[in-house]
Structure 1
Amino acid sequence: MKNSTRIYLLSFISFLIGTAEYIIAGILDQIAQDLNLPVPVIGQMITVFSIAFAVGTPLVITLTSSVDRKKLLIFFMLVFAAANLVTLALSDYGWLNASRAASGLSAGVVEVIALTLAATLAAPGKKAGAIAMVVIGFSAALVVGVPLGRVISGIMDWRYIFAGLGVLTLASLVLVVRAIPSTRGEAAVPLKHQLKLLKNGQISIVYVMTFFWISAFSIIYSYISPYLANVARMADGTISIMLLICGIASIIGSRLGGWFTDKSGYAPTLLAGFAVHCATLGLFFLFGQSAWIMYALLITWSLSAWSSGPALQFRLISLAPESTSIIFSCYTSMIQFGMAAGAIAGGVVIQIGSLDQLPSVGAASVLVSLVLLATVASEKARSGHKLGLPGRKA
């Protein structure tokens, strides 16, 4: 098997992981109905997965730094497959969350190893493209995995979606055993050294912006299916289509964010992305009950929300170019913490208020990121520096 084909295999595995994380949002209302539990309670299945991913992954990667990457990948793919397959036999909410925690932890480890192996297998000068291919696999879950899961759950028991993920993981594992070469582990950077980066004020601000930005997205996306069904009054088939369109828009938004960052710098890109994101959520609150208006708003929301990711990553790299791997490890954990916080906050809003109040809380969250960005910009302006120009260290 050619190395390029092996990278595609790793990308497919990343797609399965992304689907496992995001799929709950697409079928949240159906799970709640089946288990006879409130929607906010089911939403915490997203929180459990994200926290296990964020907290467990760096610990496991650090503790197993000397273990052969292929062996580690095989083991945690088995854990991931088992955690999803066992869902077929579970009807207790507590045990379902236990399986979600195991799935989240194993998914995080597998994703990191997949990224590492992709860089190792790539030809000289093509490492970035190989890493991007794995990331695209994860992002493709929003485009294909979530809407497809919504369609499948309308035909059969939602548990079969997770069973399918388990089966596909085992099928991929056969190819991994046969095609992925053994790769030696490497010396890990101790967690205490990783945490030292947080003492850098500029880096910490970017992480805080990341947290509130992705929390704002998660507040809405974690409960998107019941929101569209009960507030926008969309039919089930229309929801599946809109989830697909939103997934496509999110990938386009990410690409546009990268393009604008290279062309204009990180700050103008973030300013535009945060502002449109915040404004769109405000319009959600005003026009959420109009399905026709929501079609346009959902696309704008997906485009603007995901345009910020590349700019935030660029800013982090520019602040610590010698610590890229650590920077991205912390960034990934912050994304997962933000996803978990958004799911929790959304659940609280629904319990004490209603679904139609979610956008206002999301707008407030992204507004925090916008204020932080404005603060950084004003400080730079006072010090006489121009902010975020491409090709300069900002």
Structure 2
Amino acid sequence: MDKRLLVLACGMFAIGTDSFVVSGLLRQVSVSLGVSIALAGQMVTVFALSYALLSPVVAAAAAHWPRKRLLLAGLAVLVVGDILTAVAPTIKLVLASRLLSGLAAAMFSPTASATAASLAVPEQRGRALSIVITGLSCGTAFGAPLGVFVGGLLDWRATMWFAAGLGTLAWTGVALLLSDTPSAPVVDLARRLAPLRDTRVVLTLLTILLVFTGLFIVHTYIDPSFDRVTGGNQGILAALLLLRGVAATAGSLVAGRLTDRFGSRGIINAAAAILFLDFALLPWTSTSLTTAAPALVVWGLFGWGLLVPQQLRLIGITPSAAPLLLGLNQTAIYLAVSASGVLGGAAVTWFDHHTLGIISAVFIGAGLVTSELAHRHIIRSHGSMTSSAAIPSGNIP
């Protein structure tokens, strides 16, 4: 395996850890800074919103930068943002620092994917991209639970120092082991957003926006949502997050093969339907470890397993615009994360926080509807090729 790809994967591991570790620390942040859990949850919102809105802007504005310089700058900003979070005395400064960390993710993540593709020969680019993306999923699966465990042993500020340490290690690896690569072709912001004029693209992106808003409403406030199981014990919460992370990794790996066999429509709709039931039952399954653990496994398997068929559906709409479409898909995911912080914060303020799963299920159900609408528009665009005889069902996105 090309060591340069491993370096990029390590950077994505740091980004993934930084993105998702905060959700397991909200109770500690709330007590430490004397604010509500809902306000502490906006740490997730500002990070995700910063990433979602700035990612296409950074890609257009810094397209002429050498990739190595942009990667190093992104990791440096990430480390600075984490250190500022670790020492910030007020929630306002904490939120400002998370905004800075979101900018770092917007600088690093898309650049890492583009660099991985440029380092591989055309027939191996898919494998190269999968290695880098695995770094992100491993950050979610293992880095975030480890950070929560560190917070349980010490405090949430120690976790942010831990995240800064990961960023520093990744920066060192990129600086020492990655040779400079040419800057990417310049693509202005208008061209990057051009696919949004296609109804099929909009409905497909709306599907991931709605489903992931549902998933992350509970994820952002997972500490209070599962407090009847954890009893406030960060070690138990870290173990549950690890279990879900392992399931998410397995779901991502299996989803590709299933999508090749059954097509995107079947996998997306089946995953969304199962997630709808899983989250609708969370107010009851989150009461004990014997039911909470399977619920989290289902969440991990089908939540992250949804991403592969979603991406393949987008690529199938306009293959020539695949990089732009996948970038918009990432933006939709992080918009969902930012929306979930606001919506979940309102829900825990107005309702019993153990009922968040029902609110999530409403969004997931809406995503199932838009998924089917997207499929119908895609089929309609095929014109005379809509019959199953002309197009094998497994190839219909």
Q: TM-score, normalised by structure 1?
A: 0.94
Note if contact 2:16-2:139 (Cα within 8 Å) is conserved in structure 1: yes
Cα distance in 1 between the residues matched to 2:94 and 2:233: 28
Cα–Cα, structure 1 residues 72 and 199, in superposed 2: closer, same or farther, change >3 Å? same
**Quick one: which of 13, 35, 38 aligns to 2:36?**
38
Note if contact 1:19-1:142 (Cα within 8 Å) is conserved in structure 2: yes
Q: Which runs of 5+ in 1 are unaligned?
A: none
- Compare 342-351 and 161-170 and name the one that shifted more: 161-170
SS at match of 2:2: helix
2:133 maps to amino acid = V
Cα–Cα, structure 1 residues 234 and 169, in superposed 2: closer, same or farther, change >3 Å? closer
Q: Is it true that 1:97 corresponds to 2:95 in the alignment?
A: yes
SS at match of 1:185: coil
Cα distance in 1 between the residues matched to 2:228 and 2:26: 13
Cα–Cα, structure 1 residues 205 and 381, in superposed 2: closer, same or farther, change >3 Å? closer
Query: Paired residue for 1:344?
Result: 342
Q: Is it true that 1:63 corresponds to 2:61 in the alignment?
A: yes
Q: CA deviation at 1:346?
A: 0.7
Matching of residues 110-149 of structure 1 within 5 Å = 110-149=108-147
Note if contact 2:203-2:373 (Cα within 8 Å) is conserved in structure 1: no
2:268 maps to amino acid = L
Q: CA deviation at 1:152?
A: 0.6
The number of aligned residues is 392
Note if contact 1:50-1:336 (Cα within 8 Å) is conserved in structure 2: yes
Cα distance in 1 between the residues matched to 2:173 and 2:373: 50
Q: CA deviation at 1:238?
A: 2.2
Cα distance in 2 between the residues matched to 1:195 and 1:381: 23
- Compare 83-92 and 375-384 and name the one that shifted more: 375-384
- Compare 378-387 and 290-299 and name the one that shifted more: 378-387
Give RMSD over aligned pairs.
2.1
Note if contact 2:278-2:298 (Cα within 8 Å) is conserved in structure 1: yes
Could you give the per-residue CA deviations for residues 170-200 of structure 1, whole angstroms, max 9, x where no partner exists? 2332332222112221332222122221111
Note if contact 1:32-1:39 (Cα within 8 Å) is conserved in structure 2: yes
Query: Paired residue for 2:219?
Result: 221
Query: Paired residue for 1:50?
Result: 48
- Compare 165-174 and 74-83 and name the one that shifted more: 165-174
Q: CA deviation at 1:100?
A: 0.5
Could you give the per-residue CA deviations for residues 15-49 of structure 1, whole angstroms, max 9, x where no partner exists? 00111110011222121121121111111100000
Note if contact 1:43-1:223 (Cα within 8 Å) is conserved in structure 2: yes
- Compare 328-337 and 138-147 and name the one that shifted more: 138-147
SS at match of 1:183: coil
Cα distance in 2 between the residues matched to 1:126 and 1:378: 33
Cα distance in 1 between the residues matched to 2:176 and 2:128: 20
Cα–Cα, structure 1 residues 80 and 263, in superposed 2: closer, same or farther, change >3 Å? same
1:282 maps to amino acid = A
1:256 maps to amino acid = V
Cα–Cα, structure 1 residues 381 and 232, in superposed 2: closer, same or farther, change >3 Å? farther
Query: Paired residue for 2:17?
Result: 19
Query: Paired residue for 1:212?
Result: 210
1:27 maps to amino acid = L
Could you give the per-residue CA deviations for residues 236-295 of structure 1, whole angstroms, max 9, x where no partner exists? 432221110000011111222222111100011011101000011111134332332122
Query: Paired residue for 2:162?
Result: 164
Cα distance in 2 between the residues matched to 1:254 and 1:66: 33
2:46 maps to amino acid = V
SS at match of 1:186: coil
Q: Is it true that 1:329 corresponds to 2:327 in the alignment?
A: yes
Note if contact 2:60-2:186 (Cα within 8 Å) is conserved in structure 1: yes
1:375 maps to amino acid = L
SS at match of 2:183: coil
Cα distance in 2 between the residues matched to 1:88 and 1:209: 35
Cα distance in 1 between the residues matched to 2:154 and 2:233: 18
Q: Is it true that 1:353 corresponds to 2:358 in the alignment?
A: no
Cα–Cα, structure 1 residues 295 and 172, in superposed 2: closer, same or farther, change >3 Å? closer
Note if contact 1:233-1:291 (Cα within 8 Å) is conserved in structure 2: no
Note if contact 1:142-1:248 (Cα within 8 Å) is conserved in structure 2: no
Could you give the per-residue CA deviations for residues 105-148 of structure 1, whole angstroms, max 9, x where no partner exists? 11121111111221222245221111111111011112211211
**Quick one: which of 4, 8, 14 aligns to 2:2?**
4
2:106 maps to amino acid = G
Q: CA deviation at 1:233?
A: 4.7
Q: TM-score, normalised by structure 2?
A: 0.93
Note if contact 2:11-2:171 (Cα within 8 Å) is conserved in structure 1: no
Cα distance in 2 between the residues matched to 1:380 and 1:116: 28
Cα–Cα, structure 1 residues 231 and 38, in superposed 2: closer, same or farther, change >3 Å? farther
Q: Which runs of 5+ in 2 are unaligned?
A: none
Note if contact 2:281-2:358 (Cα within 8 Å) is conserved in structure 1: no
Cα–Cα, structure 1 residues 239 and 386, in superposed 2: closer, same or farther, change >3 Å? farther
**Quick one: which of 241, 244, 269 aligns to 1:243?**
241
Cα distance in 2 between the residues matched to 1:178 and 1:118: 17
- Compare 384-393 and 8-17 and name the one that shifted more: 384-393
Cα distance in 2 between the residues matched to 1:293 and 1:20: 29
- Compare 57-66 and 208-217 and name the one that shifted more: 57-66
**Quick one: which of 152, 165, 173 aligns to 1:154?**
152
Percent identical: 24
Cα distance in 1 between the residues matched to 2:239 and 2:44: 22
Cα distance in 1 between the residues matched to 2:367 and 2:84: 39
2:291 maps to amino acid = I
Query: Paired residue for 1:292?
Result: 290
SS at match of 2:152: helix
1:219 maps to amino acid = I
